[in-house]
Structure 1
Amino acid sequence: MKPGDLISGKYRLLRPLGSGGMGSVWAVRNELTHRDFAIKVLLPELSKNREALQRFFQEARVCGQIRHPAVVDVFDMGQAEDGAPYIVMELLEGEGLDTRLKTAGAVPPAEAAEWMAFVARGLEEAHVRGVVHRDLKPGNIFLARQPTGEIVPKILDFGVSKASGAKEADHIRTMSGAVLGSPAYMSPEQARGEEEIDGRSDIWSLGVMLYEALTAQHPFVAANYNALMVAIMTQPHAPLRSVAPEVPPELAAVVDRMLTKDRAQRIGQARELAERLEAALAAMPADVRHGMGGSRRSMGSSPSLSVGASGASRSGRLGMITEGSWSKGRGARSRPGVVVGVALGAAVLAAGGVLAATQWRSETVPMAARSSSAVVASLARVERRLAELKEEAAAAEQARLKAEEQARLAAEEQARAERAAQAAKALNARPSATPRRSVHGGVENPGF
């Protein structure tokens, strides 16, 4: 494949965003609609690998059925002229949470709570459909920057996900034989190798991310993989406020509850998690809530030029990640602007992710993310304004009815007063009767 090639008669290859031993990710333009997308292409020879195909098309199916602004959009899938399968996704601008944590360190509590509450809302949409992600980590949370400067977190890489009750996905392995998933973010039940993994495992992984975002350190650290698994299964984490006392207690309590090893005692549903995080955010002082630099409302710094799905990205490089990952590193261009192709990692026995590339000055990027997320945000604002207008109209109607009632009562009172005055006037105008004469013994009015 090379720039200028046409796939399926409509997707024109613009430039590569990343490549690896399993395939490549390109920025493309739909020649029919003139919209830009990211397209992930699996190598033709891997189309014969059942496990690779299973992950690849599972990604498309899962993301295709989850419609939420916190989940990356998949628009199309098909087969190229050379037989290679591909997935068409939204092209995002921004950076991964892993890159943000590496470059900026700990995230302000209000910012972290807002982002993760939004992610939990998107995760809820997956869980109600029976889909468990199973590989949530900072590299799979992308901070997509909208034209307005608003930051919209996006969940990536549902390639390792599993439908509830489906056991065959548990046995998918990488080429090296390692079970898919990121060790530092695995739940205790994943570390034990349990087959029945449900949405509470994803909540644990979000808890590890929140802990890391708030303290700039992992809750569990060990010298090697085996020791890490033992720590996750058996050792308690240091309470969040013992590491970062500046974190509000309400938020710290939520994170500590998310990291409960007994999943029966853990926060049980993504919706409950979102509500708890939103309540913790609302409990923060107003100056903390409204002074969030770089929150979903804005991103002050320029995005990094790298986002690696395994969390091993480096500034100035494109998707430099560990063995088994989707993309290899490429030198970054020197021109400003960043366009990130969302590579979800479902494709090829590797933890796929987001791949970044520098955007040329002359290019514009009418992204699906911009239209989708911006419309959602605009609709939310319109709905709030409509609610306010309804309240104002209801109050005005009540005031009008009250004024009309007062006017009616005043008119009735005035009418009664006028009738009373007319009656009194009529009574006063009536002629008085002539006094009766009294005569006794021939004397008129003798006085007795």
Structure 2
Amino acid sequence: MWPADGPDPLLGHTLADRYRLERVIGHGGMGTVYRAEHVVIRKPVAVKVLDAAHSERRTEVERFLNEARAASKIRHENVVDITDFGSTGDGLVFLVMEYLEGEDLSSTSEREGALPWRRAAAIVLQIAAALEAAHAQGIIHRDMKPENCFRIRRGNDPDFIKVLDFGIAKIIEDSDVERPSSAGSGLLGTPEYVAPELIRGLKPDARVDIYAVGVMFYDLLVGKLPFAGESFMSTLTAHLMQQPQPPSQARPAAQIPEAVDYVVLRALAKDRDQRYATIGEFSAALRAAIAEADAALAPPPPPLPPPPEPEPSGIRPRVAIAVGAAILLVFSAVLWTMAKRFYTKEQVTQAVATAPVIAAAPVLPALPAAPVNEAPKAAPVAEAPKVAPVAEPPVEAAPQAREPAGPAGEPAAETTAEPGSETGAEAETETEAEPAVRAAPKSPKSGPGPLTAGEFAAAMNKVGARVKLECSRFSLRKMEVTVQVVVGADGAVKSAEPTGSQAGSTLGNCVARVVKTALLRPTRAKSTHRHTFTM
């Protein structure tokens, strides 16, 4: 329709009475992209016009329009928005998209080289999100490469990605063998990013996009392609036969985590059944790898303080009685010594006679008679006949001040003992000492009972909130993790191991780490339990 050389004759023209073409902003395999303006609302747009050679082929035009309709169904922030498509009266077919200002990832890589692994991962996650939206609509890109990923600034994010050219010239046939949409080598896509099954002529599915994203991710991490031969055929052979070097080994200074290595290498698996089944599964694995790297840098949470030891019941009152009895004995002894030293014999006898009245005053009346019975023993032998008659009244008053300590019928025998009788004094001393002996009963040798299933489940429910808070980023919704827990006799968790499908996984290890902080009550011996957390 127009000469190959010379100025573009479409510049300045208005397509379909709506879009005035202002300048060329890019060339593709099937057409040219222009910056244009909607003549009514003055909105800048990008218009892709199918080349004249392709516009004359009915099959190419039909494919262009069909794929344009399919791509327009994708509604995602990381996918370029297709707003219009159609044809002109002179046979030109065009597609209208949002106008973007920025650069493609190929230009970024050429200028900056290898990117920090976290920045590269953030870019790849956006690309994966765009592909997931396309796959949900049954659209496979099949030509993922840096040139089709446009980097713009949105707000404070200078690396916001828009994926371009969804299915524009990449047609998915229903037959088992794929037919190319353009005459050329017979191979769809770009050689450096093409999946091995496409080279073998197999029917493509969404996993060809996963492979291409893996190649792009490797390039962003290392600064070079994993498969790049000196010729077209050597590059295809490398895709089929060569195993890529892990990114962390290809670029050791970048400190790329091993978990990120695993994600990249699995996406680049030669056998598509060995790759991630969906692009969403790829994204989840990459997020888990980033979270694992973050967890390795973060300090572990401080352990929870142990609960206070419960005080045995009945100890405090008996201790108070014992202390009160000791103070009373010391007070009586001091009083007797002072009376003996500073008063005459008649005054000492008077003091002894009045001592029980003082002893009867304390709140603890169980032990007032003991000092009176001991006092005559401390007096000289010669004075015993005179002291004994005087001491009778306080001895008779003693039963009124003390409570029975033995079974019914025995208190009367204790109170009728003669004041001068050593047997009576000894009996009272033994009876008085009984509360002190009972003040510290020994704990049962058997110890506390075993930990019940209900108590264990309650303890796990308490840490359940922390498990969801700290580990949900590693899991999908409603995912279950079963942990085998060994609880020691002191109530601390000695070990926690994930079992089943989560054994050894990042999610299982995260749940086990939180469970180890739980603290249960002390038991007779250690015990083993199982608990399943639902994320």
Change (3 A) 1:169 1:156: farther
Other-structure match for 1:250:
259
Alignment of 1:22-101 (within 5 A): 23-44=31-52, 46-101=54-109
User: How big is the shift at 1:207?
Assistant: 0.5
One of 278, 281, 298 as aligned partner of 1:272? 281
Cα 1:285–1:167 change in 2 (3 A) is: same
Decide whether the 8 Å contact of 1:73 with 1:89 is kept in 2: yes
The alpha carbon displacement at 1:280 in A equals 2.3
Distance in 2, matches of 1:125 and 1:236, equals: 30
Q: Does 1:144 align with 2:148?
A: no
**Alpha carbons of structure 1 residues 288 and 70: separation in structure 2 relative to 1, 3 Å:** farther
Matched residue of 2:274: which SS? coil
What is the letter of the counterpart of residue 276 of structure 2? Answer: I
Q: Bigger radius of gyration, 1 or 2?
A: 2
Q: What TM-score results when the alignment is normalised by the length of structure 2?
A: 0.50
CA distance in 1, matches of 2:210, 2:188: 18
Deviates more, 1:57-66 or 1:143-152: 143-152
1:69-218 → structure 2 map (5 Å cutoff):
69-146=77-154, 148-158=156-166, 159-163=168-172, 166-167=174-175, 170-194=178-202, 196-218=203-225
Contact map agreement 1:131 1:162 (CA 8 A) in 2:
no
Does the 8 Å CA contact 1:44/1:82 hold for their aligned counterparts?
A: no
* RMSD, aligned α-carbons: 2.6
Task: Determine the C-alpha separation between the residues in 2 that align with 1:39 and 1:50.
Answer: 20
Q: Specify the SS of the correspondent of 1:16.
A: strand
Instruction: Give the CA deviation at 1:69.
Output: 1.3
SS in 2 for 1:25: strand
**Which aligned pairs between 1:288-307 and structure 2 lie closer than 5 A?**
none
**Counterpart residue identity of residue 60, structure 2:** A
Residue 288 of structure 1 deviates from its aligned partner by: 9.8
Distance 1:51 1:287, change over 3 A: farther
Higher relative contact order (CA 8 A, sep 6+): 1
Which of the two has greater helix per residue?
Answer: 2
State the alpha-carbon separation in 1 of the partners of residues 204 and 108 from structure 2.
29
Contact 2:123 2:161 in 1 (8 A): yes
CA distance in 2, matches of 1:235, 1:19: 33
Give identity over the alignment, percent: 36
Q: Which secondary structure state, in structure 2, belongs to the residue aligned with residue 222 of structure 1?
A: coil
CA separation in 2, counterparts of 1:127 and 1:71?
12
Unpaired stretches in structure 1, ≥5 consecutive residues: 290-448
The residue number in structure 2 matching 1:219 is 226
Deviates more, 1:138-147 or 1:265-274: 138-147
1-structure distance, mates of 2:229, 2:13: 48
Contact 1:117–1:273, Cα closer than 8 Å, also in 2 = no
- Consecutive unaligned residues of structure 2, counting only runs of 5 or more, are 1-8, 299-535
Instruction: Describe the SS at the equivalent of 1:28.
Output: strand
The Cα shift of 1:22 comes to 5.5
> How many residues end up aligned between the 2 structures?
287
Amino acid at match of 2:244: H
Residues 169, 138 of structure 1: CA spacing in aligned structure 2 closer, same or farther, 3 A cutoff?
farther
| CA–CA distance in structure 2, aligned partners of residues 110 and 19 of structure 1 | 32
Which amino acid is 1:97 matched to?
L
Which structure 2 residues correspond to residues 325-404 of structure 1 after superposition, within 5 A?
none
The residue matched to 1:212 in structure 2 has which SS? helix
CA-CA distance at 1:9 after TM superposition? 1.9
Indicate if the aligned counterparts of 1:96 and 1:138 stay in contact, CA closer than 8 A.
yes
Code of the residue aligned with 2:246 in structure 1: it is P
Paired position in structure 1 for 2:302 = none
Displacement of 1:51 in angstroms is: 4.1
**276-285 vs 73-82, which deviates more?**
276-285
Name the TM-score, length of structure 1 as normaliser. 0.59
CA distance in 2, matches of 1:221, 1:28: 37
What letter matches 1:236 in structure 2?
A: Q
